[in-house]
């Protein structure tokens, strides 16, 4: 694979093929895993505030449910594609298996620019999209969640739309909802907290410590800014953060809460007092202990990977490292915490929310945090132990663990008829 920024689906299939060969996977099961079980494309007409009707393309891809109902986020982005959604659904399948929760992988997306849409337009878009995928989703079929440029309000609209058609409230139909309707507060930073747990375990294995580590975070959306905040609270020095418009750097460190407030007022991290403006590429190449890519796919490439100076790369985003860059970092001795492990705290938290909704229970914040830490630490140790046993790097070990568990489930169920 020599493409600078490969198609995410090409990357996912390349990973599956390489892992299948190492696992000596049955060819039939490999072929099953190459394709999603179901893909739905929909056109979504929305009357815009200025009068005309605009049609948006949307998708819901369900990869495999051998281990449980489908689970996956819904992203709104102007460059989202079916191939991207399919790859993300596949990665979600492995991710759920790695943390050993009873879900299969799915993903949804709508090609739109939510930054240029009003709240009314977004609500109409969301409810129409939910209506068009209604037959595919549900508490025991497929449970959506937030992703890039969607949030708890988006999930509230999907839940309400689903509930209106059912005739009664079904909070377990989505996760990532506002707490007032069955969500819980910890979901907002669950992915980021999971990243922190993985970084903490990695530093222990490497004989260093997380506290006082110098950290750069690419991406200052929900995952990125919460990761920066939590790592700052744990004693790390956050020297750089960035968003889609660029980044800021201060070698003495910045306070993520202050940066967040600055972005809320100005629309970007750029211009934060006492900082130097840098590009996203410069951030990736900064002299730091820990790099946290928390933006989009294909951010660490063969061009900038040789210049990565971090000892640990914790992939809070999905697919931020291209296969060629992955090899370069591995040869450099960089410890990569792969996306399907590092950012699995989000789906773990979603699982907790779903279980509470199904049983109509309310868990304490302490119980949720304790359960998440236990599951994330176990998942990290499972992957790390396998990497040592098979003498390979963490990404391949994670893929072996996740794909192996899904393959075993399919083998156990059999192929019918």
Residue 154 lies in a domain: yes
pLDDT tens across 185-195, in order?
Answer: 777 789 999 99
270 and 321, same domain (yes or no):
yes
What CATH number is attached to the domain comprising 94? 3.40.50.10860
Residue 383 lies in a domain: no
The catalytic position among 17, 71, 79, 107 is 107
Residue 382 lies in a domain: no
pLDDT tens across 88-130, in order?
Answer: 999 999 999 999 999 999 999 999 999 999 999 999 999 999 9
Residue 72 lies in a domain: yes
63 and 93, same domain (yes or no):
yes
- Is 166 a known active-site residue? no
Instruction: Give yes or no for residue 370 having a pLDDT over 80.
Output: yes
Determine the average pLDDT of the residues in 381-399. 96
Number of H helices, E strands in the chain: 14, 12
210 and 257, same domain (yes or no):
yes
197 and 322, same domain (yes or no):
yes
* Number of domains into which the chain is organized: 2
What CATH number is attached to the domain comprising 275? 3.40.50.720
147 and 246, same domain (yes or no):
no
pLDDT tens across 37-94, in order?
Answer: 999 999 999 999 999 999 999 999 999 999 999 999 999 999 999 999 999 999 999 9
According to the model, what pLDDT value does residue 1 have? 43
Q: What does the DSSP assignment read for 220-261?
A: -SHHHHHHHHHHHHTT-EEEEEEETTEEEE-TT---HHHHHH
Residue 7 lies in a domain: no
Q: What percent of the chain has pLDDT over 90?
A: 91
199 and 332, same domain (yes or no):
yes
According to the model, what pLDDT value does residue 296 have? 84
According to the model, what pLDDT value does residue 365 have? 86
Instruction: Give yes or no for residue 353 having a pLDDT over 80.
Output: yes
Contact 107, 136 (CB under 8 A): no
Which is nearest to 293 in space by CA: 381, 385, 215? 215
According to the model, what pLDDT value does residue 5 have? 65
Residue 136: pLDDT band (50, 70, 90) is very high
Structural domain ending residue among the three candidates 110, 139, 170: 170
Structural domain ending residue among the three candidates 342, 361, 376: 342
Residue 377 lies in a domain: no
Determine the average pLDDT of the residues in 177-181. 94
According to the model, what pLDDT value does residue 4 have? 57
pTM as predicted: 0.92
Residue 416: pLDDT band (50, 70, 90) is confident
125 and 97, same domain (yes or no):
yes
Instruction: Give yes or no for residue 244 having a pLDDT over 90.
Output: no
β-bridge pairing 237-243 and 70-77: unpaired
228 and 301, same domain (yes or no):
yes
79 and 197, same domain (yes or no):
no
According to the model, what pLDDT value does residue 187 have? 73
pLDDT tens across 150-168, in order?
Answer: 999 999 999 999 999 999 9
Range of the domain at 237: 190-342
Residue 417 lies in a domain: no
pLDDT tens across 288-322, in order?
Answer: 999 999 998 889 999 999 999 999 999 999 889 99
Structural domain ending residue among the three candidates 342, 364, 397: 342
215 and 298, same domain (yes or no):
yes
Residue 333 lies in a domain: yes
According to the model, what pLDDT value does residue 3 have? 47
Contact 69, 62 (CB under 8 A): no
User: What strands lie across the sheet with 70-77, from one edge to the other?
Assistant: 38-47, 53-64, 104-111, 70-77, 142-146
199 and 333, same domain (yes or no):
yes
Residue 2: pLDDT band (50, 70, 90) is very low
Angstrom distances, CA of residue 50 to CA of 77, 124, 172: 21, 14, 36
49 and 149, same domain (yes or no):
yes
């Amino acid at each position: 694979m020599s493409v600078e920024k490969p198609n995410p689906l090409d990357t996912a299939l390349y990973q599956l093929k390489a892992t299948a060969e190492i696992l000596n996977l049955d060819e039939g099961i490999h072929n099953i895993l190459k394709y999603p079980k179901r893909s739905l494309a929909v056109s979504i007409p929305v009357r815009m505030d200025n009068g005309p009707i605009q049609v948006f393309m949307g998708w819901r891809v369900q990869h495999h449910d051998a281990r449980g109902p489908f689970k996956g986020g819904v992203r709104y982005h102007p460059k989202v594609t079916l191939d991207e959604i399919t790859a993300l659904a596949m990665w979600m399948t492995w991710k759920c298996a790695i943390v050993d929760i009873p879900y299969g992988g799915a993903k949804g997306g709508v090609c739109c620019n939510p930054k240029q849409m009003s709240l009314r337009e977004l609500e109409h878009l969301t409810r129409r999209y939910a209506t068009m995928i209604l037959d595919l989703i549900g508490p025991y079929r497929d449970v959506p969640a937030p992703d890039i440029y969607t949030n708890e309000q988006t999930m509230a609209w999907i839940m309400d739309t689903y509930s209106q058609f059912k005739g009664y409230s079904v909070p377990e139909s989505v996760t990532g909802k506002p707490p007032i309707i069955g969500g819980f507060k910890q979901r907002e930073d669950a992915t980021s907290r999971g990243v922190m747990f993985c970084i903490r375990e990695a530093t222990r294995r490497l004989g260093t410590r997380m506290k006082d580590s110098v950290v750069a975070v690419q991406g200052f959306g929900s995952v990125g800014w919460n990761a920066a905040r939590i790592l700052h609270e744990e004693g790390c020095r956050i020297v750089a953060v960035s968003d889609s418009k660029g980044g800021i750097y201060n070698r003495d460190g910045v306070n993520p809460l202050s940066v967040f407030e600055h972005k809320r007022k100005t629309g970007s991290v750029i211009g934060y007092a006492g900082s130097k403006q840098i590009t996203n590429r410069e951030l990736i190449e900064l002299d730091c202990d820990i790099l946290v890519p928390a933006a989009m796919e294909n951010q660490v490439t063969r061009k900038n990977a040789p210049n990565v100076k971090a000892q640990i790369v914790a992939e809070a985003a999905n697919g931020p490292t291209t296969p060629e860059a992955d090899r370069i970092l591995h040869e450099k001795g960089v410890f990569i915490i792969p996306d399907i492990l590092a950012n699995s705290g989000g789906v773990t938290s979603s699982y907790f929310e779903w279980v509470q909704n199904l049983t109509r229970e309310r868990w304490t914040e302490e119980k949720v945090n304790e359960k998440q830490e236990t599951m994330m630490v176990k998942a990290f140790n499972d992957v790390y132990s396998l990497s040592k046993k098979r003498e390979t790097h963490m990404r391949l070990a994670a893929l072996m663990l996740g794909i192996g568990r899904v393959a075993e489930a399919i083998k156990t169920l059999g192929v019918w008829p």
